[in-house]
Structure formats: structure tokens, C-alpha cells
A and B are shown apart, each in its own frame.
Chain A
């Protein structure tokens, strides 16, 4: 049998290393190879989707090889309904992000391509790892390519943003390392078997109390910074605004999902009592994030910053959904993770396209673009509507499910969170109105080109998926429901046992 997950995970990284030996002048070769490799990776990940049995409990496409047996570390990878969609999202977005960079990245293009490919391997590794050691290796290693992407190819304030990004995330993840070690030794002392294996550790029923709470907090801090959950979000606007378009797409599309994924994969099953106990705190922070992110977005003069803060708002919804701990909320959160990756990724792509033409992202510099670039305006409208959750497009499905889940927990909470959707309509439509409608306000905008073939090629797949999920979400929710049910059952069984 072909080790499909290993292939998907390491193909981009291996190609990235190989690309370092290509002469830097042959830009054409670099473009072609990186495109072929990422598309091939996506193609290889499609059998994961079609071969995935949505009704089966447990991990599929598992590979488990010895790595460091004396330490209890194994090369254990596998996917379930939670990671499947995120793996697909990553492999789907990556070729688009790379192609979008063709027009904008000229300095050190070879290094850029190689770094992006290494980043893809890091991100996929995070989603497929079923061994805490392996997971941590990918989790930390992934920071470095992103750091370089922001720091080398970013905007004027890139160094500050890159350093802030890496320091914030490192503080969180290093504390998680201590918690991983704590869990490892606690499980080892209790059972006599020292292992980092995630499925094995997930079976362990930890006594509620200080140890569990501290470990939960250490894990949660690492993930909350990555999500980012209010008030740990301050690195995000800087990183997003300074990063090149391709970096922002990956950052918003995939990186932030690693945080929410961490909550689902580790916090809930490992520390169920603490997850319940801290649930109200997380909801509150999540809802504050929803409202705060929306309000701050409304007043942004810079489109990219607006989209960046909207991420804080959208990810607040996802966190709310996860900690409702019920079927609708969790499935909604998962779908919303994918949706946010698509919609916000597309928003960043389109803001980047405007920026390439006009070298400005200030809303005030635009106006009346529909006269100049009608095709761009039409696609932009679809993406904006998807991001604000118009029924019929993808965003609605996720937010609706999350709110249904939240309503069961607390109607008040759901009511406050719902206002976030309204605010989303405010800041997105107001931005759209100022940029696209009206008369052409700046002469410089008259000569703007409409979408090129390359840009169409980038946008059409995203928009197709946006409509597909909106019209037929079952194609995706169907793969996740069993896994989510099992997760909820596991949490309930464990917390019930301790009561």
C-alpha cells in the first residue's frame, strides 16, 4: 500500500529542498516545478477525501512506524473527520497562494518558493501527526518558514511583525512543551507505559484538579495565541498586514486553524474536565473577540487590516462552536474553519490583486471600481458575501450551526454572538460600497486592469468551492459528523466517570 499521508506531507518539503539547487535565474522552472508539486500534492490528497469512510470511528490512513522506541516516540500519522478537511484545505490553498505570488514576489523568488513548500510540509505535518512529539516538531518547525516569509518578503514594518509573530507563538508553544512532558510522565507513572501516542493518551482518564487545569491552560495558551483568541490576538494584525499576499493567505487560511485544531484534537479529549470548567471563560473571550474584531474592522482605513481583524471575529465564532461541546456547534466550527480559510484567503488574494495594481490598500484611495474593473468587482462581491455569511454561500452554514449549538448552551450568548454577523455585514458591505460603488474618485484608478487569466485561475476554484459548500454542505459535514459524535461521547464519558 502507498503511504499516502507521508507522501502528501513530505512531497512539498522535499521538492522545496530540491528547488534550492535550481539556479536562481530560471524563474520559469521554479514556477513550473512549484506549481506542479503543489497541484500534485492536492491530487494526492483527493484520494484521502474519497477514500475516507465518514461512518467509521477512529483514525484512517494510519501509518505507525518505530522512531525512538526507548522514548515512546513513533512516527504515527493518520486522519479523522477533523483533520481530513484541514489537510484538504491546506493542499487546496497552497497552489493558489503560490500562483498569486508570481506577480508580486521578485526578490529571491527561489528562496520564497522553497520556503512556501517547506511551510506546506510543516502545516500538513501538524494536522496528520498522531504522536505528540512528532506534532510538536512540526508545530515549532513550521514557525521558521512563516517567520522568513513575513520577515523577508513582507511590507515596510516586516521585521517587527515577524519577530512579534514568532515570539508570541513561541512563548505559548514552549509552555505547551512542558505540559506535553507533564502528561507523558503522568501517564507513564499511572500505567507504566511511556508514550507520546495521541490515541493512547486520549484514552487516559485524568483526575480533575490542579494538574489537569494547569496542563489545559498550557495547551490552551499555545492554541489561543495561534487562533488568536481575544486578548492574545495583537500579533495577528501586524503579521497579516506586513506579510506578502501569499503569506497572508496561508496565515489566515491554514495557520490560524492549527490553533482551533489543537483545541479539538488535544484539549477536549485530554483534559475534558478542565475544558468544561473553563468553557464559560472561553465562550466569553470568544464572543468578545467576535464583537471586538468586528468593531475594530469597521473603522480600519486599510483593507488588509480590515480583513485581518475580521479574522479575529470569525475565529471567535469557531472557538464558540468548539466549546459549546455539542454536535451542531462542533460541526459548525469545523465547517467554519474551512469557510474562513476560503473566504478570508480569497479576500486577501483580492486585496493583494488591487494592491499590485495601485500600490495602495487604503479604502480612501478607491471608489467606483465597478466602472473600471467589473469582473473583479463581481467576484469580490461573492467573496465578501461569503465572508459575511449570506445564505446560499459557505459562510452561512458554519455560522448557523455554531449559533444553533451556542443557543442550546446559552440563548444570551447566542444572541450577543449573532450581532457579530450583523456587524460583519456592516464592515464588509461598507468597505465594498466605498471601494467599488459610486463614481471614480481618483484619476489613478481609471487605468486599472481587470482580472488577468492567471488571477481568474486563482479565483475560480475558490469561488466554486464557496458556492459548493453553501449549496451542498453535506459533502463535507458528512465526513466529520461521526468523528465529532465520538469526540463528544468521549468527553462526556470521561467527565461522567469523574463525577
Chain B
């Protein structure tokens, strides 16, 4: 029997993730300290961790590094996702500061969990091995399960946590089972070696079954139909800042791992897989959009709309190639800015000591808080896909890739869905601008940090809308070595 050989320890490629984890440890230590230490310090430490990780990511750009025997692959693809994830994380921390205090749930543990979840997402994007995929996914998910139930005294929050946990655990077991089958078929969990093994035997039934189960697990995490049932309840019940993280960061991490896993699929399997993805994309965007029309709760509406946006991103995956997959990366970047911003506005609106979550609560908002209404309006218009905002360019790239790859009808389904989406997004605009307030007024809860977060997000959607090409080109270049 061979002696166990420890791989060389190379921590540098993991630097961004380590910074986030370090910040988590620091916040934990702060919590143990004397009471005199102000609460804000934890938030500031968490923010510093996110920004530090972002800077470390930017510094590493262009250096493709591998560590721990290819278990961690810190290439441009991972770094691109790190940017999206760290941005979402930082924004969530900013949004949380005043929001949690107002809701009486301010605690250092919150920031620790956000940091752990963020680290999990970043690791997910850099996973070169199915074991790392699973570990990172669990690190992310377990933190998020707890975060969803943060408002202990609220029934909806507890329900969200419970549902998320049960269905999430279910999905994780699918994923794990799939990984086991793939290991059985190929004898390895390393993605590179799986790819090599599969080119020799492209249609091994064991592998196909394993891959199918893995896709089910990912389908849950990215919330594509028919694995979307948890989304509305969790998005609605979880604290809004946590919802923002689930909607942006966790989706980005799961998509990153999904793209990496799909990249190992041999060409021979592609036609069946493409047909499946085609149908998945079409059904996901249609169901998400159609059901969103019927929602009167803004968070729930955004939950269904997020399902629809996953459908658009799947269109990019169906199109494939550097163009299609790159479009998905760009879309995720845009989506992170837009959705985090939209949820951010919700955290700043309150009604009679409670959160303003019903669409009707926003009636006449434009009269009392024109800036806030304008911000939410711009985020929603970007989600509709109105140029020159970023959402339009995201759709433009995704549908462009689909048309280029010959999936014209999928693009047609996609644009018709966008028209459906316009209806329910604009309904919120109708309430804000074209109706008078009803009952008790929705108040603006002033928050410097929250305002800063919204300003960053607004600049983001305008910049990405007017000058998208450099970022989209980076996304395509980052994904090119992977999809070839």
C-alpha cells in the first residue's frame, strides 16, 4: 500500500477566500470581546473582508493557478465569479447594518454566517473536484439555512428556514448520490480526469445517471423549474438582506459549478442534453414569469421573477460555446447589481414598524420619496430589459448567443416572456408613480450604508448598460478555456 502523500500546500491561489474566512474569524473574536465594542465594528470588519477579497481577486486577474492537486482551480472563470460574489456579499453587508438593527436582530453571528456563505460560494466557483463542489455547496447552504431563519420570532422566517433546509438537504443528497455514481463510472472525482475518462467512453449509463442526479442538485440551487418550489416561500420569509444574498451570490456560485460540471460532458452526449436544457430553459422562464403576474407580495414577485431570469440564463447555457456561456456570466453580473439593488430598496421601506412588502404598500411612493422610487423604478426597468440599462444588454447577449447557435425559437420564447415580465414589473411602477398612497404611509428608513449600497448598484446598472462590451468581453475570455 502506498503511503499517503500530502499534496503541497499552496495557499496563495485561495487568497480571496481566505480573506473572507479570516474576516469571519475576526468577527467571531469581536463577538467574544467586551460589550463595549460597538456592533458596527462587526459589520465594518465583514465589509472590509469582502472588499479585501474583491481587491485580492482583481490582483490575481489573469493568473491561472491550481492548488491541492487540481482540487482548487483559481482561473479567470473563478475570479470573474469572485467579483460577482464579493460584490453581492459587500452589498448585503451594507444593506444589513441598519436593517437588522431596526428589526431587532442585530448580531455578530449574522455577519459570520454571511462571510461563511460567501466563502462557500467563492470556493464553489473555484472547484476543480466534485468533492470540493459538494463541500463548498454545503458550506454555503448551511450558512444560508440559518440566515433564512434569523428572525426567530417570525413564523414566516422560521418556515423559510425549515423549507430551505429540508428541500436543500434533499437536493444535496441527490447531488452526492450523483457524485458517487460518477465516481463509480470514472474512478475519480477530479473534473479534469472525469473529462479525460469520458472522452474514451462517452455514453456510459452509470455516468449519465450520475450526471442527471448532479443536475437535479444544481437545478435546486439555481432554482430552475421543476426544482423551484422552495423559492417563493424562502425569498418571502427570509430577512430581505438574506434574500438578496440567496438571489445573487448563491445563484452565481451554483451557476459557476454547474458550468464547470457541464464543461466535462463529452460532445457525444450534447444533443440529448441540449434538448433537455432547451425545454428546461423554456419552462423555467415561462412558469416564473406567468406565476409572477399573480403575486401581490413584492418579495414573492421578485422570487418568481428570479426563476424567470434563471430561465434566460439557461438559454445562454443552451446556446453554449464561449458566446453563450460568457453571456451567462455577464448576465449574472448584471443580475447581481440589479436584484441586490431591488431588494435593497425593500430593506429601506417600512410601514408601521414592519417591512413594506406588499406591492400596494408602494402606492404613491414617488410623491414622498422620489429618490427611492426612482431607484426601485430603475432597477425594475433594468429587470424588464429596457435600454440603456444593464438588464437589456444582459438579455441582448443571451438571446444573441441563442440566435447565433440556431436556437431562434428559444430566443422568441425568451423575448415574449420579457413582454410578460414587463407587465408585472411595471405594475410596481404604476403603484409608485400613478396611484395615491393608501392607509398608513410607507416610510423611508434612512440609512447611510443602505443609500451607499443603492448608489453603487445604480452606477453599476447604468455603467454596464452603456459600456457593456469590456465586461462582456472579459466574461467571454474567462469562460473560453473552459468550454473550448
Instruction: Give me the interface of A with B, judged by CB distance under 8 Å.
Output: 67-71, 73, 136-137, 140-141, 143-144, 147-148, 151-152, 158-159, 162-163, 166-167, 170-171, 174-175, 177-178, 181-182, 184-185
Contact = CB atoms under 8 A, between A and B. Distances in A.
Contact of B415 (A137, A143, A178, A184): A178
Contacts of A177: 396, 399, 415
A178 B473 contact: no
Interface of B: 381, 386-388, 392, 396, 399-400, 403-404, 408, 411-412, 415-416, 418-419, 422-423, 426-427, 430, 433-435, 467-469, 472-473
Contacts of B388: 137, 141
B416 A174 contact: yes
Contact of B400 (A141, A148, A181): A181
A336 B396 CA distance: 35
B374 to A, nearest CB: 9
Contact of A152 (B387, B396, B415, B434): B434
A167 B418 CA distance: 10
B403 A185 contact: yes
Contacts of B411: 178, 181
B465 to A, nearest CB: 9
A143 B381 CA distance: 11
Given A159-B434, A174-B419, A178-B403, 7 more contacts: A152-B433, A163-B427, A170-B422, A171-B416, A177-B415, A181-B400, A182-B408
Consensus secondary structure, chain B interface:
helix
A71 B401 CA distance: 12
A158 B434 contact: yes
B318 to A, nearest CB: 15
The 8 closest A-B pairs by CB, nearest first: A68-B469, A174-B415, A137-B387, A181-B403, A171-B419, A151-B434, A185-B404, A170-B419
Contact of A166 (B404, B412, B426, B469): B426
Contacts of A185: 400, 403-404
A152 B429 CA distance: 11
Contacts of A140: 386-387, 392
B109 to A, nearest CB: 42
A184 B434 CA distance: 39
Contacts of A70: 469, 473
A73 B387 CA distance: 14
Contact of A141 (B387, B399, B427): B387
A144 B473 CA distance: 29
Contacts of A159: 430, 434-435
A167 B422 contact: yes
B399 A181 contact: yes
A182 B416 contact: no
A163 B423 contact: yes
A151 B408 contact: no
A402 to B, nearest CB: 33
9 contacts: A68-B469, A143-B386, A144-B386, A151-B434, A166-B426, A167-B423, A175-B412, A181-B404, A185-B400
A148 B433 contact: yes
Contacts of A158: 434
Contacts of A167: 419, 422-423
B222 to A, nearest CB: 24
A178 B402 CA distance: 10
Nearest to B476: A70
Contacts of A182: 403, 408
B4 to A, nearest CB: 49
Contacts of A144: 381, 386
A167 B427 CA distance: 12
Nearest to A177: B415
Contacts of B418: 170, 174
B430 A68 contact: no
Nearest to A150: B434
Contacts of B469: 67-71, 73
A166 B419 CA distance: 9
A162 B356 CA distance: 26
A419 B423 CA distance: 40
Contacts of A175: 412, 415-416
A68 B422 contact: no
Contacts of A162: 430, 434
Contacts of A181: 396, 399-400, 403-404, 411
Nearest to A133: B396
A235 to B, nearest CB: 13
Contacts of A136: 387
Nearest to B409: A178
Contacts of B423: 163, 167
A185 B404 CA distance: 6
A162 B469 CA distance: 33
Nearest to A68: B469
Nearest to A160: B430
Given A140-B387, A174-B416, A166 B422 contact: yes
B256 to A, nearest CB: 23
B419 A141 contact: no
Nearest to A138: B387
B426 to A, nearest CB: 7
Among the interface residues B427, B433, B434, which one has the most CB atoms of the partner chain A within 10 A? B434
Contacts of B399: 177-178, 181
A163 B472 CA distance: 32
A182 B422 CA distance: 23
A118 to B, nearest CB: 12
Contacts of B408: 178, 182
Contacts of A137: 387-388, 392
A73 B467 CA distance: 11
Contacts of B415: 174-175, 177-178
A131 B280 CA distance: 34
Given A137-B388, A140-B386, A181-B400, A163 B430 contact: yes
Contacts of B404: 181, 185
Contacts of A163: 423, 426-427, 430
A99 to B, nearest CB: 24
B172 to A, nearest CB: 38
A70 to B, nearest CB: 5
Contacts of B416: 171, 174-175
A424 B412 CA distance: 40
A182 B401 CA distance: 10
A181 B407 CA distance: 12
B385 to A, nearest CB: 8
Nearest to B381: A144
A151 B366 CA distance: 13
A67 B387 CA distance: 15
A68 B387 contact: no
A5 B435 CA distance: 38
Contacts of A166: 422, 426
A162 B427 CA distance: 11
A128 to B, nearest CB: 16
A184 B387 CA distance: 19
A163 B396 CA distance: 23
Nearest to B421: A170
B404 to A, nearest CB: 5
Contacts of A67: 469
B400 to A, nearest CB: 5
A159 to B, nearest CB: 5
Given A177-B415, A178-B415, A151 B430 contact: yes
Contacts of B396: 177, 181
Nearest to B397: A71
A421 B430 CA distance: 40
Contacts of B467: 68
B435 to A, nearest CB: 8
Among the interface residues A166, A175, A177, which one has the most CB atoms of the partner chain B within 10 A? A177
A181 B398 CA distance: 11
A430 B143 CA distance: 75
A73 to B, nearest CB: 7
Contacts of A141: 386-388
A479 to B, nearest CB: 31
Contacts of B381: 144
